[in-house]
Structure 1
Amino acid sequence: MDPVPIPTPHINAIGAATPDHDIHEAFIGWAGEQLSDPREQAVFSRMVERSGIDHRWSVLPRGANGGSPVSPEGFYAQGMPPTSARMQHYAQAAPELALKAVGNLPETLDPASISHLVVASCTGFTAPGLDQLVARKLGLSGAVERVLVGFMGCYGAVTALRTAYHIVRSEPEARVLVIATELSTLHLQPEDSLEPLLAMLLFGDGAAAAIVSADAQGLAIDGQFAATLPDSEALIQWHVGDTGFAMHLSGEVPGRLGDALAQSDLRSAICNGAGLDGIDSWAVHGGGRSILDAVEKGLDIGPDALNHSRTILREKGNMSSATLMFALQRVMQGPPVDNGIAIAFGPGLAAEGFRYSSA
């Protein structure tokens, strides 16, 4: 008896969405006021200019007279809200933004066609979970199998897509809806020192949805890889506190990533033992300009290789796990790809990704 062939999973389509409230400039003004040291103020201003970010979008409502979350009557106007208030907003806004991303898929979603739902998010907790809230609002069958990827940070979309990949390989008829939704702007923190304010400067809100199946259209995904850097667990941390989730993002991260990517063992894992010369497409998580610079230098790739990632960073900031799917969407809208690499970075310090090609 001939063995049953294992299907090749494909990302058939991606839809993406951001809110319509641009909070980037308002944050810059607020953050500058938190710093009392003139030297730190000057450094912060320079880093703003060098950030490569023009806009970041928030689900938080506009304050008085259309103001920002830090303006009078804004979400943060009366001090730092407790975690409970932030999670209440997450439970309402996260499903809405996720549904907006699903609505932006190239073709209208048929709820009856979905067999599995995989949702990634690290910026909120609620029960029933975001997976169940989205499933109900989409009208998915109660029999749909669900997975919730929580608190994995910026590489959460890789884990979600990898989960869909394994589902399709084991169930060739499966049609998996993958969603990454992040509301980072719910977690503004009362800080008066430079490093945490520079970390908060990066993040915005966004959501992306993808259909993964054995249908040979879109991007074929294969060649999963994962690597955790030794002695790096203190470099990125995400703590649940009384006033939201507090992130620690060390300034050492870009340098450590760049050094790791320059090593032959990690390069070999990323390229499946082949060289980088044959790679014709990159979908890299735009964690920040310094991260993208480190990737470009560490892998010794051309100055235009990360254009998709730099464009997303400029227009939307770092949307945590959703960011990589925005990059993959731009890849799918471009010319055919023979050998592409998707990669994201997050707590661990870890690098996770996969290879892709056009169907």
Structure 2
Amino acid sequence: MTVTLERAAELRTPTRLPAISRMVGVGTATTGTVVSQADLLDVMGIDDPKIRSVFLNSAIDRRSLTLPPPDATGRRVPEPQGRLLDKHKRLAVDMGGRALQDCLRNAGAALSDVRHLCCVTSTGFLAPGLSALLIRELGIDPHCSRSDVVGMGCNAGLNALNVVAGWTAAHPGELGVMVCAEACSAAYALDGSMRTAVVNSLFGDGAAALALTSDASEQVRPGPRILKFAGFLITDAIDAMRYDWDDGLGRFSFYLDPRIPYVVGAHAERVVDRLLAGTGLRRGDIGHWLVHSGGKKVIDAVVVNLGLSRYDVRHTVGVLRDHGNVSSGSFLFSYERLVAEGVARPGDYGIMMTMGPGSTIETALVQW
């Protein structure tokens, strides 16, 4: 049977998907000192040419960090785990609170409007969780529903988005907010190894918040609709990214397998194809890509395997350059830049993608 071009186009008409929720505000915050990669090498007294090369070829210009204070000789010395946990708590509450308030201003909402608060963090453990601490710190109604996503790493922002989108779908017209607060300075080790150097060259401190609501019959807020989620756990690479106890250092330590970019790249198509299945959309129909700023090689692998252009990942690359990898909130830093750019038009489709321990790839389909 011959199919005309007109009929082919008709057959590819995207399916009208019901919205799960709507994104109505975004905000970000950083803390600490903004330091360039070159200056950081000097501050930390790193002379090894191989390690210096890792820092200087990372596609990162600068990051916000809260480094340990120098000792009497001017050296930066490792901080014990207890002090790092205190740092995590202090920085996460500070950044998370400011990102949340910035997000609410962007959404035209107030703290009194927040009905559900979901907090994400992987750079330290808190009990009570960050959501409880922010409710107390900011004076949010203590009756506010809350949840905490802990220990899921850089992909966790989309896991939390799924949670909050589901909550708002069940509570039309009410405001849910997710906050990703990652004090990566509280996960720093100083041991001179190449394993540590790879981690220390990459991560920065940052927090991002996103406000969501589902459409109520009497009110529809402006903002892109969340249509669908898809994820994939690469079980064969479950130990390739991990944050666990190091007996030698007497503290938690983050590990990144050098093969991670290739593992992520090899599975990126699979997840995106699943996300688009049943929608009538192809990858070429996606106008906006908001990919986690996981590192230069990770971004390059995603670009190659999905056939993206450098323009498609301009915000991903820009966030990596200006902030480093801020873990779970990175994709929201990119989303904030896209919103400020003002290029998205009604009807445009976008894909959000995050990657992290598991190894895991998470995605979401949105439409303006």
Same fold (TM over 0.5): yes
Matched, 1:81 2:79: yes
The question of 1:353 aligning with 2:351 is answered: no
CA distance in 2, matches of 1:348, 1:355: 22
Matched, 1:219 2:224: yes
Contact 1:218 1:332 in 2 (8 A): no
In the other structure, the counterpart of 1:336 is 344
Q: Distance in 2 between matches of 1:356 and 1:126?
A: 32
Residue 162 and residue 235 in structure 1: after superposition, are their counterparts in 2 closer, same or farther (change >3 A)? same
Structure 2 counterpart SS, 1:301: coil
Which residue is 2:3 aligned to?
A: none
Alignment of 1:159-170 (within 5 A): 159-170=159-170
The structure 1 residue matched to 2:91, chosen from 90, 93, 96, is 93
1:10 aligns with 2:18: no
Task: Give, in angstroms, the shift of residue 266 of structure 1.
Answer: 3.0
The AA in structure 2 aligned to 1:279 is I
Among 255, 259, 265, the residue aligned to 1:258 = 265
Partner secondary structure for residue 234 of structure 1: coil
Matched, 1:51 2:49: no
TM-score normalised by length of structure 1? 0.87
Q: Distance in 2 between matches of 1:167 and 1:275?
A: 29
- Three-state SS of the structure 2 residue aligned to 1:248 is strand
* 8 Å contact from structure 1 (residues 153, 347) kept in 2: yes
Runs ≥4 in structure 1, deviation > 6 angstroms?
Answer: none
Q: Secondary structure at the match of 1:270?
A: helix
What runs of 5+ residues in structure 1 fail to find an aligned partner? 1-5, 36-40, 61-67
Q: Does 1:22 align with 2:34?
A: yes
Alignment partner, residue 217 of structure 2: none
| 8 Å CA contact retained: 2:19, 2:227 | no
Match of 2:100, SS state, is: helix
Letter in 1 for 2:241: I
**Which whole-Å deviations, capped at 9, do the CAs of 1:280-316 have from their partners, x for residues lacking one?**
0000000001111011001011121100100000000
Question: Mean alpha-carbon deviation: is it higher for 203-212 or for 104-113?
Answer: 104-113
Distance 1:21-1:73 versus aligned 2 partners, 3 A rule = farther
Percent identity reads 23
Aligned 1:28-39 pairs, distance under 5 A: 28-29=41-42, 33=46, 35=48
Alpha-carbon contact 1:224-1:353 (below 8 Å) kept: yes
Q: How many Å separate the matches in 2 of 1:97 and 1:303?
A: 30
What is the letter of the counterpart of residue 178 of structure 2? V
Distance 2:275 2:117 in 1: 27
Question: After the TM superposition, which of the residue ranges 182-191 and 349-358 deviates more from structure 2?
Answer: 182-191
Give yes or no for the alignment of 1:182 onto 2:182. yes
Shift in Å, 1:336: 1.9
The RMSD of aligned alpha carbons is 2.3
Relative distance call for 1:141 and 1:356 in structure 2 (3 A) is same
Aligned residues: 337
Structure 2 length normalisation: TM-score?
0.85
Q: In the aligned structure 2, how far is the partner of 1:285 from the partner of 1:190?
A: 26
CA distance in 2, matches of 1:34, 1:124: 30
What's the CA shift string for 1:100-137, capped at 9, x where partnerless?
Answer: 11232325642221111100001112222211110112
The residue that corresponds to 1:308 in the other structure is 315
Name structure 2 gaps, 5 residues minimum.
1-17, 215-219
